[in-house]
Every structure is written in structure tokens, then in C-alpha cells.
Amino acid sequence: MVKKRKMTLLPIGGLANRMRAIASAVHLCRLSGCSLDVYWFRDKGLNARFGDIFKDIETDKVCIHVDSLLGKLLYDHPRRHNMWIPRVPQKLLFRNRVYDNEINDYERNKDIFMKFLAEGGLYVSSCYPIIDFNTDIFRDLFKPVEEIETKAYSVISNMSDYRIGIHVRRTDHIVSINNSPNELFYQAIDEELNLNNSLSIYLATDSENVKEDFKNKYGNRIFFSTSEADRNSVSGIMDAVAEMYVLSMTNKIYGSYGSSYSEVAAALGGIPLIVLKND
């Protein structure tokens, strides 16, 4: 009897990190011909179910599982918070296990993961891509629910034909704060204005102060969400997804250093991303 090959993925971290992990896992499973179980758990970093923000992934080889106590006992990544309990059943269920703190040690080596899958069940918990993949896959996999799609298009309908996206990451993201100050974005916007006076700007940010500063400087050219960023509520996550799709429908994105959010937005739209960073 041939043992059915299957991969189990726990995507962790924020929205873009989870999307990258899933996209890379789907690509790996397509290469190997195996099926994929995705356990998407809500936590303080992303307190929304997959189905709250995305439509079902349209392939019978990918199954998205919702939270359950049993699921967390079996498939959550072992850590102090859960007293490392899931490590015990995972040793029994999976011949090969790769955890988030180990994933980069494999350097996205496709052959290693293909070997793991050939040997039987594989468990991966990750906020990083597992292997390299063509980012066009984002558009195939992640389709926002109707409410989010409608919200994104309503914003775009009020902007000019030439529009740019600005993603300014602040709050707890020290790397972005230190490397991508407001002044770099001002400089980029001013250069864009010199080229096209009809410019519209969509600003996605987790800082109310940044919204105020950009609004004071660029007035009615600036568009942004009137809701305060909130990763701990479903409505807040829905707003974040809507903003990602608005960014994807601009002509180009200027992004913060060290943030995967603008990378995924650019990939969804197939548009250029310029990451702004201090020399």
C-alpha cells in the first residue's frame, strides 16, 4: 500500500507572512503532487479566520482548517505558551518536522523539502517562505471576500488614473522606523508630483500620527483608512486586507524597509515596489 503524501502547514505571524508561507507551500505541493492541510489559527498578531477575509482556495488539494482545541493541541507550534505540548503528538504524526526558528537554516532548498515529502508526512510552521516561488501565485490563491473587495474598489474609484501607494510601517516595527523615515517618502512623493500633477496617493500605515503628517503636507491628494489600525479584531484585519488590495491597484508602491506587507501588495498587483531605506 502506497502511503499518501501530505504536508501540514501552520502559517504564523501577520497577514503578509502567512500569505507568503501558504503560497510557497502550495507551490511545493504542486511540484511534489501531494496535498496540503493549512491550520490557520487566530492570535494576537492576526485575530481573524481565513474565511473572514479570503474566499476558499479553489483547489481540492488544499484544505484550510479553522481553529479548534484539538487542532491547537496537535498542530500549533510548540512554545512556552502551550507548554510545548504539541511537540509530543507531532513526533508521532510526522516523520519530518520543520519549525519556524529552523526554516531559514534550509535556505529554501527545494530538494530537501521534496525529499521530506517523499519520505512521508511533513509538518512546517513558518512565517517565512519555505521555497522560492513565482509571486503570480498570490493572485490565484488569495481572493478577498466581497465586502473587502467592494471597499477597495470604492477607494480606487475616487482616485486619479495615476496613483501611487505608500506603506509606512511604524508602531512596533523598529527596523522600518529606523530605516524608512517620513522624509524619504516625502522626497519620493515630491518627485512623483513633478512628473504628474494629477497624482493621487494612497497611504497605508499603522500610525495615526503619520496619517496626520501626510494629510497636512499633501491635502486632498492623500487617501487613507479612517479606521485606526487594529490587528486584534476581525474588522481591523478586514481593513488591513482592503488596504493591501488598494495598494495593489496603484501604479507603483513605495514601501518601508523590512516589511513584507508591501511586498505582497506589489505581487498581488504585478506592480513595481520601491523600498525606501536610509543609506
Three-state secondary structure readout of 97-123: EECCCCHHHHCCCHHHHHHHHHCCCEE
What pLDDT, in 10s, does the model give residues 232-242? 899 999 999 99
- Contact predicate 145/55, CB 8 Å: yes
CA geometry: angle at 113 spanning 107 and 12, to 5°?
Answer: 70
What pLDDT, in 10s, does the model give residues 140-163? 999 999 999 999 999 999 999 999
Per the DSSP assignment, residues forming a β-bridge with 145 are: none
User: How far is it, in rounded angstroms, from Cα 42 to Cα 66?
Assistant: 9
- Contact predicate 256/159, CB 8 Å: no
Does the pLDDT of residue 2 top 50, yes or no?
Answer: no
Under the banding of pLDDT at 50, 70 and 90, the label for residue 173 is confident
The reported pTM is 0.94
Does the pLDDT of residue 95 top 60, yes or no?
Answer: yes
Under the banding of pLDDT at 50, 70 and 90, the label for residue 4 is low
Does the pLDDT of residue 19 top 60, yes or no?
Answer: yes
Under the banding of pLDDT at 50, 70 and 90, the label for residue 272 is very high
Does the pLDDT of residue 20 top 50, yes or no?
Answer: yes
Grid cell digits, residue 123: 509538518
| pLDDT confidence of residue 58 | 84
